[in-house]
Amino acid sequence: MLKVKSWEIGIGIVAMVLSAVIVFQLRTENQIGSTLPTRRVNELSQIFKNQTIQIKKYEHEIQDLRTQLNDYDRDQEIIRLKMAAGLLPLTGKGIRIILSDSTKKLKEYDDPVFYIVHYDQLELTINELWAAGAEAIAVNGYRIGNTSGFSCAGTTILIDTKRLAPPYIIEAIGDPKNLQQALLMPGDFIETQILSFNLKFEIQPVNELTIPVYKGGISFEYAKPVTEEAQQ
């Protein structure tokens, strides 16, 4: 009978163990080699898709900016800004209003202060016109600016530093129908604060009005433009 030595059995066991380890390692490497690149490819593919979508978005934005740049007319923009600032005379259809003191013969107990036009009544009438869509307004030929102020000086009214006396002829460029309807709404300011005191108030549409340039001061001592960086 062939005798197997103990050291031979040990070597055989070690060989079996090493073979099992080598096989396990090879299988693990194969699994890593087959799964890791696939996952990485999927990640890269998703990143590529996202970047492609972002690039298309930027391309659309660039195209929109190019369209705006092509449509932009610098001269027309300057004219529009000057119109808004009152630096250009304007013409167009609108309405003309005559507002003046009452001609009512007062009795002894009547207080005459209620029957003359006050600066706040004139100012509120102007505000009603702005709210109704007026694009340019003048009073007695004086253009109302964005910063125009109203105050009284005895029986006359000051707009900025321009002294005006009745009758106050208000001219407003805008849709005549809308302007007139806004002023003559029942129960509104004109009815309760002007007509109720018998102040003279006449209104008529005009096909063509001319509003002169604004001659008041335009200065900014404390205000300054906000920088583009601060707006972001």
pLDDT given at position 7: 45
126 membership: H or E segment, kind and range = helix 119-131
Task: Name the pLDDT band for 60 (thresholds 50, 70, 90).
Answer: confident
Q: Examine the domain organization and report whether 37 and 121 are in the same domain.
A: no
Report the DSSP beta bridge partners of residue 151: 158
Using the predicted structure, report yes or no on whether residue 5 has a pLDDT greater than 80: no
Per-residue pLDDT at 119 exceeds 60: yes
For the ranges 8-12, 65-69, 78-82, 132-136, the lowest mean pLDDT is seen at 8-12
In this structure, what token pair is assigned to residue 231?
Answer: 């707006």
Same structural domain, 68 and 110: no
Residues 93 and 47 in one domain: no
Residues 4 and 97 in one domain: no
What is d(CA 55, CA 50) in angstroms, rounded to the nearest whole number?
Answer: 9
Burial classification of residue 168, based on how many CB atoms lie within 10 Å of its CB (0-12 exposed, 13-18 middle, 19 or more buried) = buried
98 plus 146 within the same structural domain? yes
pLDDT of residue 35: 53
Q: In three state form, how does the secondary structure of 13-40 look?
A: HHHHHHHHHHHHHHHHHHHHHHHHHHHH
**Mean pLDDT, the chain, as a whole number?**
81
Whether 218 contacts 147, CB under 8 Å: yes
**Residue type at 59?**
E
Question: Which is higher by pLDDT, 44 or 8?
Answer: 44
Q: For the purposes of burial, counting CB atoms within 10 Å of the CB of 88, is it exposed (0-12), middle (13-18) or buried (19 or more)?
A: middle
Specify the pLDDT at position 28. Answer: 55
User: What is the percent of the chain with per-residue pLDDT over 70, rounded to a whole number?
Assistant: 80
Structural domain includes residue 224: no
Residue 21 sits in the same domain as residue 53: yes
Residue 79 lies in a domain: no
**Is 82 contained in some domain?**
no
Enclosing domain of residue 1: 1-72
Quick one: what percent of the chain has pLDDT higher than 90? 38
DSSP E strands: which ranges in the chain?
90-100, 136-139, 142-143, 150-153, 156-159, 162-164, 168-173, 200-211
Residue 169 above 90 pLDDT?
A: yes
CA torsion through residues 26, 28, 31, 32, sign: negative
pLDDT at 2: 44
Distance of CA 95 to the CA centre of its chain: 28
